[in-house]
Each structure stands twice: as structure tokens, then as C-alpha cells.
Structure 1
């Protein structure tokens, strides 16, 4: 039995990062994730790390670039508009193949948005919000316990593949308090850091970290190398949870906070003789396409429920590939669907 604490989601992320060996944090305050920076400012000096409140989100992501180049475990966090400002740096870091973790506690939007929960940043996260053909691993927790566990995992994945890994939550997950059980010792998987710019000590050739490839032939080869790495990640790092899908009348697809609500909808539907399954992508990228292959012929239809105008539904439709109808139900602006709304939509589809 490990240590147990009642913690706010944002604080659990920060504590998990420290336990995972994060020793550099660069960020800029923006609700609803500011507690991550507060926690890091208090705790990072105690473990011999560096905390810097940057002058802007743009500065913060470029500090991440510099620290990651030395091989240290580094993290930044922000919320939707701040993540938008980081996009150029995210693309540069991706091209340079540097491991780091980014936390996005999503606001509703577009624009400045409010601090209430939303999932409108799905496209930005999984399709690449910056320029060029790059990918990030995107993890979507649904509880404070998972915020902790997946933050540790994010650092391991980042190191293993030299890739940016994003934790994507929302205002509910960041602000809510739940019991968290921490392990006595974390499973830390550190990748090879022979590429890092730590000084040669006159004993080896110098390392160069760059995201500049001017010659088209060289840039194409670098891109092909990146795509091969992404394919390897798709084969090895998919995480998904399925429930009640074997002979479901309808399968609902949801991630994060909405998946918690759908769990209660399943119980309500069962009382009315409707069997509802749930597929919960935990990695939004790589997307769990094979899970849809497995259950594609089972239900009468699929329904995605999201806190946006319809984003993940496009990936669900690609995965189902026309074998069954795929419907969408969403709320925006920080509005959260009630269980009855989702159940009514299920009944409407099954008429």
C-alpha cells in the first residue's frame, strides 16, 4: 500500500511529475491550471530542480526546448490560449526529437474562453496545432488517480521515443479533489540520452540539437524518420478502456470527464432494458482504431459524446469505416450534458 492523499487534480499532476524525475518546469499562470505552477514553485527547489515563471507562454516553451536539449526531464503546463501560443515551439521541439511533457487543462472556446470544462482542443492536440507533419502522444485521464499515473507514464513515453507527450484534461479534472494513492516507488523508464548537449569534456564529438533542415532531400529523410517512429508508437502505445461492449445495442465513445458521466448513463439505460457499451480512448493519439475493429459489427450504432462541436467523432467514423452509423452529441461553452440528455439521444438513435 502506497501513500494516500486527498489532492486537487492539478496538484496531483505536479506531484506525479516530481516523482517521475521532472527537474525543470517552465510556465506562465493561466486558470484553470495555475495550481500546477504554484505547486512546482513550492516543491521544485526542494528536490534540486529549477522553476521559472516565464514572461510569456512563448518564452516558456522555448525554455522547454533548451532544457530538453540537455536530456533533463522537463514539463510545462497551460490552458487553451496558452497552448496556442506554444504551437511554434511545439513544432520545433518535435522536429528536434526532444522528450518533454506538456499539460493542457482545457478551457472552453474559441477565443479567450471560460474556465469551465471543454474538449475543444482535441483537433489541436491530435492533428498537430503547429506547422508541419508532426505528432504528439496525447493522454486523456478521467480521474485524479489517472492524472497521477498517466503523468508518470507521459515522462516514460517521452523519454522512450524522444517525443512530446501531452496530458489533456479540463477544468473539472484540474480543480476537483479525489483520493490519490501514490506508489512507494515509481517505475521510471529513462531512454538513451547520448544525444544530449551536456558538454563533450573533450572525450567525444559534439552533439547538435536542431530543427533546421534546409536541403529538401535531407528534410524529407528526417520526416520519413519521424513517420517511422510515429508508426512504431501506434503499434505499441495505444491505451483504451472498453466496458459492456460484447453484445451492446449501442456503443458510446467518450474520453475524460464525459466518460465518467457515460458510466452512469450505462446504469440508467440498463434499468430500461438498453445495453450501452463504452469505448474510452485513453490515448487520443495514437487513437485506438483496433478497438473499433473488434466491436464494429456488434452495436446498431456508435455515439460519440464530447464537450465540443464534434471533433473525436471524425476519428471514430474513420475507425468504424462505414460499417455502422456513427452519431454525435455535444455541448459547448462550458456546458456539461446531463445523464438524461445522453440517454434521450441513445433512445432516439435506437428507435
Structure 2
């Protein structure tokens, strides 16, 4: 057993990154994720690491590009508008097949928005965000414990597939405090990878490595894109994660990710008291999306309901997965408003009454 501590979500992300071997952090402060930078500013000097508060988010992501090119484990973090500023760099990193972990503790928008929690960056992250055909492996934790577990996993997956991975949370998850159990050092699931592609210096023993995302010849660029798409297909097959809860005999299945999924679990208990059978499909990876779970239960459930803190974003992927076999409904709150248990239960009753 490891040590168990009461910690804030943002600080757990930072500690998890350190335990995963990350020794380089580049970022810029923005609420509600600034505690990640605060924690790194304190801890990096203690572990002989590098902390830089860059002059902007654009500068930070390009510093991440440089560190990743040298083969080190590197982290950056931000919230919604800051992630928008990083999009060009993220596309360049995808093109250059550079591994890194990016944290987005989502705040409400559009525009400057506010510091309250939201899930309105789903499209931005899952559908690309930047230019070109690329994907970001996106994990959506729903507890402080999962923030630890999935941050460690994010570094391993990033290195294994040479892909940018994202931890996507919200203002509630980043700011809340919960007990978290850190595994003993020998139990850490940190996997070392040989990065023979990195720009670490040749020592005159090998040909030089080149890290780039520019391919002028169209035939060469197409082959590179085909290589990327094949890699994404492998990731979708091997690394999709989902929690399926109480779905076997459910009349209606609610789907939600992150903080909202926790609310839905309480709704399931309330519904059960009224004789209503409700299940939950919680995507843990937003990309790759767990289509198979939705296909499976579209044979038994009467309907699906996607509950989100946005105007309706993940619901589009739910509809694609269900593929018309069952009706798919949506309920959402925006502007930093959080769906209440009573609101969700009333929506479930409304759907079943049709």
C-alpha cells in the first residue's frame, strides 16, 4: 500500500507527473489550473527539474516541442483559452510525432468566459482543434484518485505511441480535495521507452536525427499521414477505456464524463428507489471514443441520454455510435452551471414517458 493524502486535484496532477518521471514543465498561469504551475515551481528545483513560466501559452507549447524532441518527459497545463493558443503547437507536435502530456482544466466559454467548471472544450480536443488530420489521446478522469492514475498512464501511452495525450478535467475536479493513494515506488507503473529517434546528440556514433513536421513532397506527406492514421487506428483498438455501470437491465442509459458522471451515479440511486432502471456509460477516453459499449447496449436499452456541461458536444459521438438503433437525447447546462440530480431525473422520466 502507498501513502494516502488529502490533496487538491490540480496538485495531484503535478505530483503524478513527477512520479511518472516528468522533470520539465512549461506553462503560463490561468484559472482554474494555476495550482499545477504553483506546485511545479516548488517541486521541480527539489528534483533537479526544469520549471519555466513562459511569456505566453504560445511560447510554452513550443518549449514543450523542444523538450519532447530531446526525448524527455514534459508537461504543460492550461485552461480553455490557453489551450486555444496552444493549438498550432499541438498540430506541429502531432505532425512530428512528439510525445507530451497536456492538461486542460476546462472553464466556461466561449471567449474569455468565466472560471467556473464546464465541458465545452470537447469539440476542440476530440475533433482536432488545430489544423490538419491528427488526433490527441484524451483521458477524462472523474475523481482525484483517477487524476493520479491516468496522469501516470498518459505519460506511458504518450511515449509508447509518440502521441500527445491530454488530461481533460474541469474546474470542480481541479479545485476539489479528496483522499488520494499514491503507490509505493516499486509499484509505480512507469514504463521506460527507448527513444532512438530523439535529438540527443550523435556522439559521432550514428546518423543525425531530425524532428520535423514539414514534408514538401506531396507523395511523402501522404505516406506520413497514412502512417499517422494507421497509428491512430491501433490506439483506438488497443487503448479505448470506458466504465459501464448498471447497464445490463437498464431501461435508459445515461452517458456522461468527468464530474457529471459522478452526479449521474447518484441519479441512478434515486431512480432505483422509484423503480426506474438507469445505467451509465462513462467514456474514460474521449478519443478514442468507446463506440463498442454503445453499440452493445443499443440492443437492450430503450433510449440514451447524454448529460454534459455544454450545449451538446459528446452527444454527437453517442449518436454516431448508436447509429439510429435507439433515440439519443441530450441535457446540458452552460456558463458554469452544473446539472442537478433532480434535473437529470426529471429528464429521464420525461423521456420514458414518451
Scaled to the shorter chain, the TM-score interval is over 0.9
Measure how far apart 1:292 and its partner are. Answer: 1.0
> Structure 2 matches for 1:331-350, cutoff 5 A?
331-350=333-352
Instruction: Give the drift of 1:296.
Output: 1.1
Unaligned runs of 5+ in 1: none
Post-superposition shift, 1:190? Answer: 2.4
Runs of 4+ in 1 over 6 A off after TM superposition: none
The C-alpha deviation readout for 1:154-199, integer Å capped at 9, x for no partner, is: 0000000000000000000000000000000211112230000000
Once the two structures are superposed, residues 4-61 of structure 1 have per-residue CA deviations (whole angstroms, 9 ceiling, x without a partner) of 1100000000000000000100000000000000000000111111000000000000
Report the TM-score when normalising by structure 1: 0.99
Query: How far apart, CA to CA, are the structure 1 residues paired with 2:208 and 2:23?
Result: 24
Partner Cα separation in structure 2 for residue 208 and residue 49 of structure 1: 25
Count of residue correspondences: 351
| Other-structure match for 2:149 | 149
Residue by residue over 1:196-231, the C-alpha shift from the partner in whole angstroms, topping out at 9 and shown as x without a partner, is: 000000010000000111111111000000000000
1:22-41 maps to which residues of 2 (within 5 A)?
22-41=22-41
- Alignment-derived partner of residue 212 in structure 2: 210
- Counterparts of 1:144 and 1:70, CA distance in 2: 31
Matched, 1:102 2:102: yes
2:257 to 242, 255, 258: 255
If the length of structure 2 is used for normalisation, what is the TM-score? 0.99
- 2: distance between equivalents of 1:127 and 1:160? 22
The residue number in structure 2 matching 1:75 is: 75
Query: In 2, Cα distance between the equivalents of 1:120 and 1:110?
Result: 8
1:289-308 aligned within 5 A: 289-308=291-310
Gaps of 5+ in 2: none
Deviations 1:208-264 (A, max 9, x none): 000111111111000000000000000000110011100101000000000000000
